[in-house]
Structure 1
Amino acid sequence: MSDDTTENVDSREEDPNLDASDVDDIGTANTMRERGGETKLKVWLTLDGHRLVVAGLLALLIFGVFVFGGTFFYQYYLTDAQTADTVETVFSTMISAIITGVTLVLTISQIVISQENGPLGDQRDRMNGTMEFREYTKEITGTPTPADPSAFLRALILESKEYAERLRESVHDNESEDLRGEVDEFTNSLVGNAEAAADKLEGRKFGSYTVVSAALDYNYGWKIFQVERITDDHSDALTEETRVILDDLKTALSMFGPAREHIKTLYFEWELISLSQNILYLSVPALIVAGFMTTYIGGSSLPGVTLGVPNLIWITAAAFAVTSLPFLLLISYIARIATIAKRTLAIGPFILRDSQR
């Protein structure tokens, strides 16, 4: 699924080249999940859920599979573990995997950090570009551009909402019934979407997925297309005032696109650095557990049974789940980053999914 560029329309939307009379639905759902038709569980696992919690649940799944498999599926596990080097082989391999994985993640972190380094001239160009964009945003909103990313996006969303309300008022007495109906449906959808996204952004701190999630919910690209379509399909019925408002609305929506992409890029860098830190923290206990299992448990016999399951199975299953945590955390982070990247492949009013055209 995708957001406004890849997921910004529902299954009822038709070819953008159709006439206004052929358009079945102008409005869209307020959230990315509703537009994409995905289940809450899938969205939670890939996007909404805390990454440490998702990694922990995956570790519990591995633990459960090992306990079930060793107890009911592979009856010769205890014999092999005590007579062969099964446990020692498994955890010595995990040690190599942990060290290799940490090295890989540190390399990724260095690449991300290197993007922020550069000569003075490049840094000045970045600063000039940022300040120009902020000045242009100030001209549109009429107020100083907020420094907080969530407040910045919220200001652009609320500005587009204000233009939408003015657009609805400007066509209230228009003689074209088709124009009034389409504008009413479009503005109602935009205002509802803007209010939902603005409420989600209010008071949010950068670094949490909530900021990016609210930005993805606001499918600005589909709204830009509707502004262009209404302007073209009803050019004869539009007054000069309405044309100006449509142009201002399109400008506000167009400003939201690069602003969201910039915030998304900063969020990706933030997440990758957080991933590196968390994997470093988890790799130490994972190495300790793997080393302990290789040195002291491999080839030995642990007597006793707990809850009908041999203690050796409990210990090896728990140890394997713990040593898998760095890799599972990498999976949980990359799942979110890759999903966001796929949903924002294009910028502007493009529809990349066949099922939503």
Structure 2
Amino acid sequence: MGSSESDETLETYGAEIGTRSRSGSRFREWVLIEADRVLIAAIISVVVFFLLLVLHRLGIVSFVNPNSVTRVASGMIAGTFSLVTLVVSINQLILSQEFASAGKAQERLDSVIDFRRTVADETGATASPVSPTKFLELLIESIARDAEALAAAVDDHDEAVRRAIVLYTNAVQAECERIDETLEHTSFGTFRAVLAATAYDEDWQLHVGAHLRNAYDDSLSPTATERLEELHESLKLFHVAGEQFKTTYLQRELTRFSQLTVYAGVPSILSAIFIGLLYADVTGPSISIAALPYVTIGLIVVVLSPLALLVSFILRTTTITRRTASAGPMLPQKAPEEGPFDVIDGD
């Protein structure tokens, strides 16, 4: 732990995971996470409209063959029904989690109250805030305070021990400052709180804290050990809070997606039917040939609107789920050889 290589890794490894949102382009992050999902769905629909229009202008696709268009319309009707059925099934799955007997409802309420009480006791607050962002701010302040107390508790320790602990606490405090700045510009909503929680790498900090506790167990004073345990508990509380907010957000997001898909499903099916009716006349399409491509393309875009909603919502939910796919200090984002050190007996 005393080598410059280990020191550099200890300082940078956690921040590397915590800065996922800065590793890609700003536009990519805006599309995947930040933008409103309805806006992304609308952009997808506009792109499809102009794509079909360009393909038509280039002569690659045509809308004059009644048999081909009606077959496509029939397939779109069947696909829309399947998509709406799938969304209804997802909505039923979400609702099933909300149904509970009196005993289960009481148990769920007690667990939330106990957690909020634990947070209040750990942070020294009279009561934990109800706002998700304020709740996380309180935990971030507690983590930073515990890290500062831990650094102060090792002032009189050996140089190797003190250096390792201070490197760790400096990394924790720097991360806390970064997240605290983010939370200061964050509104009340659960989604913004989830974004802030995913940007904080408490898993790595728990991992390093456990390693330091095991590596220097005989060298740490009782006070330093106690401060390290307090920091460990604060990090655990932050992790649990982040998971709770993520669960709440995903439930609300999938419910909103189900609602919007049902809204878009009815005009989608009607548009697909109308496409077939346009070509139902034995004499050919019932509107002029000049306007037919534009009308058909517009109707196709309406038919595909539920699919556009599906793509926009799944992009965000899967991105957030992937970035938070860990349970405590288990780091699937990194290969084992990329860690800051190997935690093995005698290391």
Q: Residue 158 of structure 1 aligns with which residue?
A: 141
TM-score (norm 2): 0.85
Q: Does 1:268 align with 2:253?
A: no
Kept after mapping to 1: 8 A contact 2:17/2:333: no
1:242-321 equivalent positions in 2, closer than 5 A = 242-296=224-278, 299-300=284-285, 303=288, 311-321=291-301
Kept after mapping to 2: 8 A contact 1:30/1:217: no
Change in 2 beyond 3 A, CA 1:33/1:66: farther
Q: Does 1:241 align with 2:226?
A: no
Q: Distance in 1 between matches of 2:17 and 2:44?
A: 27
Q: Which amino acid aligns with 1:91?
A: A
Change in 2 beyond 3 A, CA 1:121/1:34: closer
Identify which of 28, 50, 53 aligns with 2:39. Answer: 53
C-alpha displacement of 1:256: 1.4
Q: Does 1:126 align with 2:126?
A: no
Q: Residue 220 of structure 1 aligns with which residue?
A: 202
C-alpha displacement of 1:121: 1.0
Q: Residue 11 of structure 1 aligns with which residue?
A: none
Kept after mapping to 2: 8 A contact 1:105/1:276: yes
Structure 2 counterpart SS, 1:26: helix
Q: Distance in 2 between matches of 1:31 and 1:210?
A: 19
Change in 2 beyond 3 A, CA 1:245/1:175: closer
Q: Distance in 1 between matches of 2:327 and 2:270?
A: 46
Q: Distance in 1 between matches of 2:2 and 2:205?
A: 15
Q: Distance in 1 between matches of 2:301 and 2:2?
A: 57
C-alpha displacement of 1:26: 1.8
Identify which of 154, 164, 168 aligns with 1:182. Answer: 164
Moved more, 255-264 or 86-95: 86-95
Q: Distance in 2 between matches of 1:271 and 1:20?
A: 47
Q: Residue 317 of structure 2 aligns with which residue?
A: 337
1:66-105 equivalent positions in 2, closer than 5 A = 66-74=52-60, 77-78=61-62, 81-105=63-87
Kept after mapping to 2: 8 A contact 1:55/1:332: yes
Q: Distance in 1 between matches of 2:112 and 2:183?
A: 21
Q: Could you report, residue by residue, the CA deviation over 1:204-236 in whole angstroms, capped at 9, with x for unpaired residues?
A: 2234x3211100011101011121222233334
| Structure 2, gaps ≥5 residues long | 340-347
Q: Residue 135 of structure 1 aligns with which residue?
A: 117
Q: Distance in 1 between matches of 2:334 and 2:233?
A: 28
TM-score (norm 1): 0.83
C-alpha displacement of 1:51: 1.1
Q: Distance in 1 between matches of 2:65 and 2:204?
A: 65
Q: Residue 132 of structure 2 aligns with which residue?
A: 149
Kept after mapping to 2: 8 A contact 1:30/1:192: no
Q: Does 1:346 align with 2:326?
A: yes
Q: Residue 344 of structure 2 aligns with which residue?
A: none
C-alpha displacement of 1:303: 4.5
Q: Could you report, residue by residue, the CA deviation over 1:138-184 in whole angstroms, capped at 9, with x for unpaired residues?
A: 2101111112222222211221111112222333x335333343333
Q: Could you report, residue by residue, the CA deviation over 1:306-327 in whole angstroms, capped at 9, with x for unpaired residues?
A: xxxx543333222212211111
Identify which of 204, 210, 223 aligns with 2:187. Answer: 204
> How much is the aligned-residue C-alpha RMSD, in angstroms?
2.5
Change in 2 beyond 3 A, CA 1:259/1:70: same
Structure 2 counterpart SS, 1:333: helix
Change in 2 beyond 3 A, CA 1:30/1:48: farther
Kept after mapping to 1: 8 A contact 2:278/2:287: no
Moved more, 237-246 or 324-333: 237-246
Q: Distance in 1 between matches of 2:65 and 2:206?
A: 69
Q: Distance in 1 between matches of 2:26 and 2:278?
A: 44
